[in-house]
Structure 1
Amino acid sequence: MSQLTGLLASLATGEVRVVDLTNTLSSETPTLRLPDPLANLVDFSLEEVSAYNEPGPFWKHHNISTGEHIGTHLDAPVHWVTGRGGKDVSQIEPSRLVGPACVLDVSREAAADPDFLVDVEHIKAWEAEHGPLPENAWLLVRTGWDAYAQDRERFLNADETGSHTPGFTVECARWLADVAPISGVGVETVGIDAGLAGGMDPLFPMHYFLLGADKYGITSLQNLGQLPATGAVVVVAPLPIVGGTGSPARILAFVERASS
């Protein structure tokens, strides 16, 4: 039996299941809001073209309008000034979009402090328990923020001082970019940086360091609680937009059934 045949058999029997890590995409999907005078992307919308009627009697279809970085999406290097000479979405190698899923659970810390920041020490502690981050891995950070994914106000958690959502320290962002052998980082929040990362030095350090190092970010993930710390495989599927700085994406994970 070939490895692919074995995978299909395991999917058929339920030995391996597919977990969807993607938030639904609609006009109600919570999106990043930058303060004036900075420009924001348009939210996702559908425009009906026909619906089994005169413009199209046997079919229904729509035009869609959306920003690149809306909902569950991937950030490509060219999205940030440090990666301006790097890859657009269409140029990312498919092999970089499939890899081991390493789930770091800091949901307890984020529940106690919405401004909680993952530091290198948290990842080192994870590695001490589970082994080194493998080559081409995706570090997926579980904060519990997916519980708010359908509630714009709670998801963005903003007040007069800014948006209060968890993220990473500057030192951790630099370490993930320069040392960790990963393809990218995934988060449950609206962006790969903390809500208050606009006040860090450099500004938005995850974008600054990670994308500048030809690594990638995925955001607004769901269902990380259904993944083990190690052992799952993640598949990141953005639209291959030529010149695209990012793209809404479907993120799937293959998870083996736990032994009884």
Structure 2
Amino acid sequence: MSTSTKDLLGDLLAGIISGGIEVVDLAQPLNEKTPVMQLPEPFVNTGTFRYNRLSNYDDNGPAWYWNDFTTGEHVGTHFDAPRHWISGRGQDGVDTMPIKNMIGEACVIDVKQKCQENPDYLLTVEDVLEFEREHGQIPEHAYLILHTGWAAYNDDHEKFFNVGADGMPHTPGFAPETSAFLARERKILGVGVETVGTDAGIAATLEPAFPSHYYMHEANRYGMASLANVDKLPPRGAVIIATPLKITDGSGSPIRPIALVPVAK
């Protein structure tokens, strides 16, 4: 390791310790109240998070407290690997993805106001281009993060899923042409959202259905869902670190992603 590299890592650590770099927690709490996507029949649903208390300094373990838990790969703040979707079949799982792809710049597009006016709002290609005109082209090895304000509803399942009279959830996401553009015209690592999944609630009615899943995973890109504290990130300049569990043949994993954010002086 060169002296300059040592200095770079030393400066990073010093910045974290001093507070010059803020570490932002991007995960929602994971517990038995965590909202979980429900699929209609006849599809099989993922399990919710469940604790099995083993001991609490009692007869079952007088000197220790610990638990078993069960949960699905795609519960709470979680990571989608390409093999999660049929278009990414045979591509990376959480156990085979390159380690360096767990770290990337965050490019945050703020459409919160548009989503308040229209909960079915779909990010457009023009939204992306407008962001790039102001902040520069989305670079290689970045995560595009969609700031919709939906994280505020995580503890209110009715608002979080926003199911309408038609029986469908009404939550924001990506237009099909936008997902295709990001997957084919930008060398991003993937996308991140505050909603329960990386597609809009009405995504089953789009062409193709669930376009963010379809195009991202087809291109061997990744997804992060149920993110928190996205509002604390700048449009550019933060670095996200998202490390899924190394589950053999895993299609996804709960994660606790963090962002390193330079503090303005």
Name 2:19's counterpart in structure 1.
14
Q: Work out the CA distance in 1 between the residues paired with 2:13 and 2:191.
A: 28
* 1:93 pairs with 2:98: yes
Aligned partner of 1:190: which letter?
A: V
Report the counterpart of residue 152 of structure 1 in structure 2. Answer: 157
2:205 aligns to what? 199
Query: How many pairs does the alignment contain?
Result: 259
What TM-score does the superposition give when structure 1 sets the normalisation length?
A: 0.98
**Counterparts of 2:92 and 2:105 in 1: how far apart (Å)?**
22
SS in 1 for 2:13: helix
| Alpha-carbon displacement from aligned partner over 1:192-232 (angstroms, at most 9, x marks no partner) | 00000001111111111101110000000111111110111
Comparing 16-25 with 34-43, which one deviates more in the overlay?
A: 34-43
Alpha-carbon offset, residue 63 of structure 1:
0.8
| Number of the residue aligned with 1:63 | 68
> Secondary structure of the residue that 1:221 maps to in structure 2?
coil
2:217 to 206, 211, 223: 211
Per-residue Cα deviation, 1:46-93 (whole angstroms, up to 9, x for no partner): 101111122211111111100110000000011001111101111111
**1:251 matched residue in structure 2:** 257
For the residue of structure 1 that corresponds to 2:189, the secondary structure is: strand
Cα deviation digits, residues 167-212 of structure 1 (max 9, x gap) = 0111011111111110010000000000000011111111111011
Deviation at 1:23, TM superposition (A): 0.4
Q: Does 1:231 align with 2:213?
A: no
1:125 aligns with one of 130, 150, 159: 130
CA distance in 1, matches of 2:33, 2:218: 31
Q: Which runs of 4+ in 1 moved over 4 A?
A: none
Q: 1:34 aligns with which of 39, 45, 53?
A: 39
Q: Deviation at 1:151?
A: 1.1
Q: Could you say which residue in structure 2 is the equivalent of 1:106?
A: 111
Please report the TM-score for the alignment, with normalisation by the length of structure 2. Answer: 0.96
Residue 83 of structure 2 is aligned to residue 82 of structure 1: no
Separation of aligned partners in 2, 1:146 and 1:131: 26
The alpha-carbon deviation at position 152 of structure 1 amounts to 1.1
Q: State the shift of 1:160 in Å.
A: 3.4
How many Å separate the matches in 2 of 1:166 and 1:53?
A: 47
Deviation at 1:33, TM superposition (A): 1.0
Identity of aligned residues (%): 44
* Unpaired stretches in structure 1, ≥5 consecutive residues: none
Q: Structure 2, unaligned stretches of length 5 or more? A: 1-5
Q: Which amino acid in the other structure matches residue 158 of structure 1?
A: V
After alignment, is 172-181 or 210-219 more displaced? Answer: 172-181
Q: Which moved more, 1:5-14 or 1:17-26?
A: 5-14
Q: Find out whether 1:46 has 2:71 as its counterpart.
A: no
Mapped to 1, the partners of 2:182 and 2:14 lie a distance apart of 36
Report what 1:167 is aligned to: 173
Structure 1, residues 100-120: CA drift from partner, whole Å, max 9, x if none?
A: 110100001001000000011
Report the Cα distance in structure 2 between the residues aligned to 1:64 and 1:45, rounded to whole angstroms.
5
For 1:239, the aligned partner's letter is L
